[in-house]
C-alpha cells in the first residue's frame, strides 16, 4: 500500500525523462556514443599530460614528497650531458632505421608486385616479423648477435675473421639495434608500399612500354611520383615509431653499454622508475612532447607546400 | 625479306631469353632475402630443440643433431609461465571485448554523425598517436596507483582501452556505409543504438575482424605500460616474464629461445589464418 504513490511518482518522472530524451536525443546521441572512449582518454591521457606539466615544476620523488622548484628541472636538463647524448642517440636510431627500412620495403614491394613464383608465401615471410612482440625480437636478436655463441660471430670465426663485439661495445650496439629493428620494419613498409603500387593504373606502364621507356625510367617518372603520398605517410609514421621504441632497446641492450643506446623514452623511464626522479622525468616528457609537436608542425607545413605545388 | 623476318625473330628471341634470365636472377635474390628474413624464427626453433650443450659448439650447425622436445617442458617449469599465460590471455581477451565495443561506437559516431566539435575532438584523438607513453607515464602511474590498480588486470586494461588507431580504422571503414540505410532505419522508428546494432554492425564484419586481431596483438605484445603497472612476478604477462628470464644472472639460451618461440606462437597462428586482415588493417591506416 505504501509503495503505490512512490511508483506513481517514479512513473511520472520516467515519462518526463523519456519526453526530454526524445526531444534532445538527436543532439545528445553522438556525445553519448563517444563518452566511454573520451572518459578513458581524459582519465589516462589528457589529465596525465596536464598533470605532467605540473609535476615538472617540482622536485618529486617516487615516495611522493614534492617541493616546488619552478624551472629547476628544466635548467638541470640543459646542463645534463646525458640528456643531450640520449637526444643524439634518438636521432641516430631514427636516421638509421627510417630511410633504410623505407628503401628496402619499397624494393621488396616492387619485386613482389609483379607476378613471380611463390609470391604469396614470399610476401608472408617478409611481413611475418611485424606481428612479433618487441621483447621476442630483442631476445632472438640478442642470441643471434651474442658475442660468444651467436651464429654471426661463429660464422665470422669459422671464416677466419675476428668476431665483432656486437652488444658489448658502444660502437656496435646501435647498429645491432638498427638491424633488429629493420627486421620488423621492412615488411611493414612493404605492405603499405604494395597498397600504394596497386593503386597505380597499369595503363600508365603499358603506355610507357609502347614508348620504349626503360624500367628505371618507368620507376623514376611513374612509380616514384605516384607513390609520393605513400612515401610521405610512411616517413611520418616511421619517425613516430622510431621515437616510441622502448621494449626492443630495454630488453636487448638496456640502453648500454654505458648510455650508448639509451634513447629519450628510455631515459625518461629510468629517471622515473629506477632513480626515482619523477619531477625530472616529467620535465623531460614535456620537452619530448614539444619536440614531437615541432616535428609534426614541420612535416605538416612541408606536406601542405607539396599539395599546393601539385 | 625472309632474312629480315629471321633477324627480327632472333632479336625478339634474344630479348625474351635475357628477360627470362633477368627474372630468374630477381626471383633468386628475393628468395635469398626471404630466407634471411625467416632465419631468426628458424634459429629460435633450432636453438630450442637441440641438445643444450650443442649451443656452445664453436662451429656453425644449422640443423640439430637430435630433437630434444623435453626442452620445452623444462623451460616452462623454470618460472611461473602457466600463471603468466593465464594473465596474458585474460588481459588480451578482456581488452578485446572492451576496446572493440567502445571503438566501434566511437568510430561510427565520427563517421556518421555531424555534431558540434566533431572535427576538433577527432583531431585531438589522432594527435595522441604521436605522443609516446613516456611523456605522461609518471602521472598516469600515479593515477592508477591512486585507484589501487597496481598489479591488477584493470590497471593494464583500462588505461589502454580506448585506441585512437582503432577509432580511426573504424571511421575510415564506416564512412563507406551508405547513409540511406541508416536514414531508412531511422524513418522506420529504430532507436539510434538499434540502428548501430542491427544495421551498421552486421555490415562491419571485416573491420570488426581487423579490430579484434589488432587489439589482441597490441595487448599480447605490450611491454612499456605493463612493466610499470605489474610489479609482482605473480601478476606478470608473458613479455615481462621473458624479460625476467633473460635478466637472470646466467642466460639459459635453449630455454629462453623455447619460451620466446612459444610466446610468439599465438600471433604467428593468428597471422597465418587471418593474414589478409593484418594487411588490410595496416594498408588502410598504417597502424602496427
Instruction: Concatenate the DSSP letters of all residues of B161-225 into one string.
Output: SS-HHHHHHHHHHHTTS-HHHHHHHHHTT--HHHIIIIIIHHH-HHHHHHHHHHHHHHHHH--TT
pLDDT in tens, B266-278: 999 988 888 877 7
Those of residues 64-103 in A touching chain B at CB distance below 8 A are none
Q: Which residues pair with A58 in a beta bridge?
A: A68
Tell me which residue range forms the domain holding A107.
80-309
Instruction: State the pLDDT at residue A190.
Output: 92
- Cα nearest neighbour of A43 on chain B: B159
A34 and A84 part of one domain = no
| A136 in any annotated domain | yes
Domain edges within chain B: 2-68, 74-285
Cα(B232)–Cα(B254) distance, rounded to whole angstroms?
26
A52 contacts in chain B (CB < 8 Å): 135-136, 138-139
Over 90: is that where the pLDDT of B236 sits?
yes
Chain A residues with CB under 8 Å of B239 CB are 133-136, 247
% of chain B beyond a pLDDT of 70: 96
B38-61: per-residue pLDDT in tens? 999 999 999 999 888 888 877 788
* Percent of the residues in chain B that have a pLDDT greater than 90, as a whole number: 37
pLDDT value for A69? 82
Residue B287: per-residue pLDDT = 57
**Range B154-158 average pLDDT:** 92
Q: What is the pLDDT of residue B266?
A: 92
Q: Is the pLDDT of residue B1 over 60?
A: no
Question: With an 8 Å Cβ cutoff, is B278 touching chain A?
Answer: yes
Q: What is the dihedral of CA A9, A10, A11, A15, to 10 degrees?
A: 110
Q: What are the counts of helices (DSSP H) followed by strands (DSSP E) for chain A?
A: 15, 2
pLDDT of A9:
59
Q: What is the pLDDT of residue B288?
A: 55
Q: Which residues of A touch B44 (CB under 8 A)?
A: 140, 143
- Do A179 and A289 have their domain in common? yes
Question: Residue A162 has what DSSP assignment?
Answer: P
According to the model, what pLDDT value does residue B60 have? 80
Please report the pLDDT score of residue A7 as a whole number: 54
Q: Do B243 and A251 touch (CB under 8 A)?
A: yes
A140 located within any domain = yes
Residue B93 pLDDT exceeds 90: yes
Contact B34 A241 (CB under 8 A): no
* Residue A126 resides in a domain: yes
B228 part of contact set with chain A, CB < 8 Å: yes
B95 vs B125, higher pLDDT: B95
Closest CA to A259 of A173, A191, A133: A173
A28 contacts chain B (CB < 8 A): no
**Confidence grade of residue B249 (pLDDT, cut at 50, 70, 90):** low
Query: For A3-13, what is each residue's pLDDT tens digit?
Result: 455 555 567 88
- Give the gap in angstroms from C-alpha B164 to the nearest C-alpha of chain A: 9
Smallest CA–CA distance, residue B239 to chain A, in Å, is: 6
* Average pLDDT across chain B, whole number: 87
Q: Bigger pLDDT: B285 or B199?
A: B199
Considering the domain architecture, whether residues A93 and A25 belong to the same structural domain is answered as: no
Third-level CATH fold of B74-285:
MetI-like fold (1.10.3720)
pLDDT band at B285 (very low <50, low <70, confident <90, very high): low
The pLDDT, as a whole number, for residue A10 is: 66
**Residues of chain A under the 50 pLDDT cut:** 1-3, 308-310
Q: What is the pTM of this model?
A: 0.87
Cell 556505409, residue?
A: B177
Report pLDDT for A310: 36
Q: Is residue A71 included in any domain, yes or no?
A: no
Q: What is the pLDDT of residue A1?
A: 44
Q: What is the CATH number of the domain that holds A187?
A: 1.10.3720.10
Number of domains in chain A: 2
The predicted complex's ipTM stands at: 0.88
Mean pLDDT check: name the lowest of A173-187, B66-80, B243-257.
Answer: B243-257
A188 with A302, same domain: the answer is: yes
Amino acid at each position: 500500500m505504501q509503495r503505490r504513490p512512490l511508483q506513481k511518482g517514479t512513473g511520472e518522472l520516467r515519462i518526463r525523462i523519456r519526453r526530454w530524451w526524445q526531444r534532445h536525443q538527436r543532439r545528445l546521441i553522438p556525445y553519448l556514443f563517444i563518452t566511454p572512449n573520451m572518459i578513458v582518454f581524459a582519465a589516462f591521457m589528457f589529465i596525465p599530460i596536464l598533470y605532467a606539466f605540473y609535476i615538472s615544476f617540482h622536485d618529486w620523488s617516487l615516495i611522493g614528497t614534492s617541493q616546488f622548484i619552478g624551472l629547476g628541472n628544466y635548467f638541470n636538463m640543459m646542463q645534463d650531458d646525458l640528456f643531450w647524448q640520449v637526444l643524439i642517440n634518438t636521432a641516430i636510431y631514427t636516421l638509421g632505421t627510417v630511410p633504410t627500412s623505407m628503401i628496402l620495403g619499397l624494393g621488396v614491394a616492387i619485386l613482389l608486385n609483379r607476378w613471380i613464383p611463390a609470391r604469396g608465401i614470399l610476401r608472408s615471410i617478409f611481413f611475418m616479423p611485424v606481428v612479433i612482440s618487441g621483447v621476442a625480437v630483442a631476445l632472438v636478436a640478442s642470441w643471434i648477435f651474442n658475442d660468444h655463441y651467436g651464429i654471426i660471430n661463429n660464422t665470422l670465426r669459422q671464416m677466419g675473421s675476428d668476431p665483432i663485439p656486437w652488444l658489448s661495445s658502444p660502437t656496435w650496439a646501435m647498429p645491432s639495434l638498427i638491424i633488429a629493428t629493420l627486421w620488423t620494419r621492412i615488411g611493414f613498409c612493404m605492405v603499405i608500399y604494395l597498397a600504394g603500387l596497386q593503386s597505380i593504373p597499369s595503363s600508365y606502364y603499358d603506355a610507357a612500354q609502347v614508348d620504349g621507356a626503360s624500367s628505371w625510367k618507368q620507376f623514376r617518372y611513374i612509380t616514384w611520383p605516384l607513390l609520393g603520398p605513400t612515401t610521405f605517410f610512411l616517413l611520418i609514421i616511421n619517425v613516430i615509431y622510431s621515437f616510441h621504441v622502448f621494449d626492443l632497446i630495454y630488453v636487448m641492450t638496456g640502453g648500454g653499454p654505458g648510455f650508448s643506446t639509451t634513447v629519450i623514452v628510455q631515459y625518461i623511464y629510468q629517471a622515473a622508475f629506477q632513480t626515482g626522479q619523477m619531477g625530472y622525468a616529467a620535465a623531460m616528457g614535456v620537452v619530448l612532447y614539444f619536440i614531437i609537436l615541432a616535428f609534426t608542425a614541420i612535416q605538416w607545413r612541408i606536406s601542405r607546400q607539396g599539395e599546393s605545388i601539385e | 625479306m625472309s632474312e629480315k623476318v629471321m633477324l627480327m625473330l632472333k632479336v625478339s628471341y634474344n630479348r625474351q631469353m635475357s628477360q627470362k634470365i633477368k627474372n630468374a636472377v630477381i626471383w633468386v635474390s628475393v628468395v635469398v632475402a626471404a630466407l634471411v628474413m625467416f632465419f631468426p624464427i628458424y634459429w629460435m626453433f633450432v636453438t630450442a630443440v637441440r641438445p643444450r650443450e650443442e649451443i656452445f659448439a664453436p662451429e656453425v650447425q644449422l640443423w640439430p643433431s637430435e630433437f630434444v622436445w623435453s626442452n620445452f617442458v623444462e623451460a616452462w617449469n623454470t618460472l611461473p609461465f602457466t600463471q603468466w599465460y593465464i594473465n596474458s590471455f585474460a588481459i588480451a581477451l578482456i581488452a578485446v571485448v572492451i576496446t572493440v565495443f567502445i571503438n566501434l561506437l566511437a568510430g561510427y559516431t565520427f563517421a556518421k554523425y555531424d555534431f558540434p566539435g566533431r572535427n576538433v575532438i577527432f583531431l585531438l584523438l589522432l594527435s595522441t598517436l604521436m605522443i609516446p607513453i613516456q611523456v605522461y607515464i609518471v602521472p598516469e602511474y600515479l593515477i592508477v596507483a591512486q585507484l589501487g590498480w597496481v598489479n591488477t588486470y584493470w590497471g593494464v586494461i583500462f588505461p589502454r582501452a580506448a585506441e585512437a588507431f582503432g577509432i580511426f580504422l573504424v571511421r575510415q571503414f564506416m564512412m563507406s556505409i551508405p547513409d540511406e540505410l541508416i536514414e531508412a532505419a531511422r524513418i522506420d522508428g529504430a532507436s539510434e543504438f538499434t540502428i548501430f546494432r542491427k544495421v551498421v554492425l552486421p555490415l562491419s564484419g571485416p573491420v570488426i575482424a581487423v579490430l579484434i586481431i589488432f587489439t589482441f596483438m597490441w595487448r599480447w605484445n605490450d611491454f612499456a605500460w605493463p612493466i610499470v603497472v605489474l610489479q609482482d612476478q605473480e601478476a606478470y604477462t608473458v613479455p615481462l616474464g621473458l624479460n625476467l628470464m633473460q635478466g637472470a644472472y646466467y642466460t639459459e639460451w635453449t630455454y629462453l629461445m623455447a619460451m620466446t618461440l612459444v610466446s610468439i606462437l599465438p600471433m604467428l597462428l593468428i597471422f597465418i589464418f587471418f593474414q589478409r586482415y593484418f594487411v588490410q588493417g595496416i594498408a588502410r591506416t598504417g597502424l602496427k
